[in-house]
Amino acid sequence: MATLTRPATPRAAAARPRRTVPVGLRSRRDAAVRLAAVVSLWSGLLLVTWWWTAAGGVQELGGWASGLTSAGRLTGLWSSLLLLVQVLLMARVPVLERAFGQDELARVHRLVGFTSFTLMVAHIGLITWGYAAGSLAATPGTLWDLTVTYPGMLLAAAGTVCLVLVVVTSVKAARRRLRYESWHLLHLYAYLGVGLALPHQLWTGTELVSSPGRTVFWWSLWGAAAGAVVVWRVLLPLVRTLRLGLRVEDVVREAPGIVSVHVAGPGLARLRVEAGQFLTWRFLGRDGWTRANPYSLSAAPDGRRLRITVQDVGDGSGSLATLRRGSRVAVEGPYGRLSARARTTRRVALIGAGVGIAPLRALAEGLDYAPGEAALLYRFTDQPLFRAELDELARTRGLQVVPLAGRRRHPDSWLGELLPEGAERYRDVDVVRGWVPDLLDRDVFVCGPAAWAERLRDDLLRAGLPPERLHDETFGW
Ligand SMILES: Cc1cc2nc3c(=O)[nH]c(=O)nc-3n(C[C@H](O)[C@H](O)[C@H](O)COP(=O)(O)OP(=O)(O)OC[C@H]3O[C@@H](n4cnc5c(N)ncnc54)[C@H](O)[C@@H]3O)c2cc1C
């Protein structure tokens, strides 16, 4: 069993010098990728709409039954396209991961997911109604006939059931009642749902085969979505894990219920990972190894070892305290853009709460800044993490450290109660601007529990921080 008592060592001096990229360059490239992604999505939607129009879709709207069928066909095309975009969005495609970051991808994924599902329901309803010659009373019988007689339709019906399951369990009220793993496992049924829909498009619809352009478009999209999942969600993590050869080197107790896990491996020097990023971790050779949990690096990577710092909030995180030295580690990633690549300017403010300080601690070490250019505001209730390391960074790098201690000062606040006298008269943002006057001109990196981060995010944006300067990541609870 690993020792849990060794004090954390300041690692500021261990950071490997990195090739410096001009501040803002990667952020501009990412903005261009985001724009290209949005343009591609809308172009795809326009293209399938144009094909639908060219096939007489608009004229068919003139008749009642033909109009219903035609509208059903269009909603089906939009829904299929968005379903495949969904798969691509969550396939961990590096260029998308870097440009959007996981939080933003998850937000877009949710929006696109609910939209494609609504369109799919509209597709089923409208097309069946149209096939029932526009008679609502005949629609249920027609739905049954279509399902059992048309090729591929039984599979499509099974696919629809899978997608309904995924969407129902993703509605916030239901999501809150489920354990994360159960929800995640159910979510994987979405792949099955999308896969089962393909045969009915091939055999019943004519869209995939009615012209070479359409065939190339749809098959390329299907191929890209399936290929992306196989390459980036399955093969790459497998190959990377084998090449890195990571093993647990040490487990260090940082505070009650919080441990740091140090891992090292011979292939680590080749891993392109930055301070502030996170990986998804599996600690092998023990119960629960099949479940992967995301944890951010809490120290800047130095090419030899990685460190994560984890709070015990459940079975997976709690079990890390008893990890054995030498245990093998499988990882996916690195992911996330809470890193130097999001930076648009030299001056930064890092604002974290609780264990959310972990990636900001790594950023405070890994970012390039001169004394006075970086401030770290740390919200904690009882005991700060990394006190010695932050003091060291303040001393050696000129990091401005502002502790925001104590309980919340009021229910809507994201600050602690231990603030300068008279602070209660001011908004949270204005109190902070007392310490960091140019806060709204800096890049602000935020990390912490979801509700706290949302409050802070709203407050900063309302106070006038440009959205492109706000970079946030939440830990999901
Ligand atoms: C990008 C990211 C970075 C994170 N970095 C850190 C970190 O550096 N240190 C730290 O202590 N915690 C971090 N977390 C939170 C950490 O992943 C969860 O606390 C942990 O996975 C909980 O798992 P569990 O089995 O102990 O608890 P459970 O009881 O299974 O879950 C407790 C809560 O944690 C969340 N959660 C569980 N599993 C996952 C998962 N695979 N992905 C996303 N959320 C999950 C859910 O909201 C759940 O309600 C991070 C989360 C994310 C999304």
Residue 361 alpha carbon to ligand 1 centre in Å = 18
Whole-number Cα distances in Å, 406 to 73, 86, 409, 425, 454:
58, 42, 8, 18, 20
Q: Is 189 exposed, middle or buried (0-12, 13-18, 19+ CB in 10 A)?
A: middle
CA gap 415, 403 in Å, rounded = 10
pLDDT beneath 50: ranges in the chain? 1-17
For position 5, what pLDDT does the model report?
30
HSE-up of residue 376 (Cα within 13 Å, Cβ side): 31
Residue ranges of domains in the chain, CATH in brackets: 25-238 (no CATH), 245-335 (2.40.30.10), 345-474 (3.40.50.80)
HSE-up of residue 205 (Cα within 13 Å, Cβ side): 28
Which among 97, 102, 308, 317 is the best mutation to test ligand 1's pocket, defined by most ligand atoms within 8 Å of the CB?
317
Q: Convert 453-463 to b/e letters by CB count within 10 Å (16 or more is b).
A: bebbbebbeee
Whether pTM exceeds 0.95 = no
Whole-number Cα distances in Å, 126 to 45, 129, 147, 174:
19, 5, 15, 28
For position 76, what pLDDT does the model report?
93
Among the atoms of ligand 1, which is closest to the Cα of residue 291?
Answer: 41
Residue 96, C-beta contacts closer than 8 angstroms, at least 6 positions apart: 33, 37, 88, 89, 105
SS3 assignment, position 321: helix
For position 4, what pLDDT does the model report?
30
Write out pLDDT tens, residues 5-48.
333 333 433 444 455 667 778 888 999 999 999 999 999 999 99
Q: What is the DSSP string of 107-130?
A: HHHHHHHHHHHHHHHHHHHHHHHH
Protein residue closest via CA to atom 27 of ligand 1: 314
Pseudo-torsion of CA 120, 124, 126, 131, nearest 10°?
150
Task: Decide: 322 and 349 in contact? Cβ < 8 Å.
Answer: no
Q: Structure tokens of 288?
A: 């629960």
For position 470, what pLDDT does the model report?
94
Among the atoms of ligand 1, which is closest to the Cα of residue 473?
Answer: 1
For position 21, what pLDDT does the model report?
65
For position 151, what pLDDT does the model report?
81
For position 433, what pLDDT does the model report?
87
CA angle 325, 293, 101 (to 5 degrees): 125
CA gap 378, 448 in Å, rounded = 10
Residue 474 alpha carbon to ligand 1 centre in Å = 10
SS3 assignment, position 217: helix
Residue 476 alpha carbon to ligand 1 centre in Å = 6
Q: Where does ligand 1 bind, in terms of residues with CB under 6 Å? A: 102, 180, 278, 293-296, 308-311, 313-318, 336, 355, 358, 473, 475-477
Write out pLDDT tens, residues 238-289.
999 999 999 999 999 999 999 999 999 999 999 999 999 999 999 998 777 7
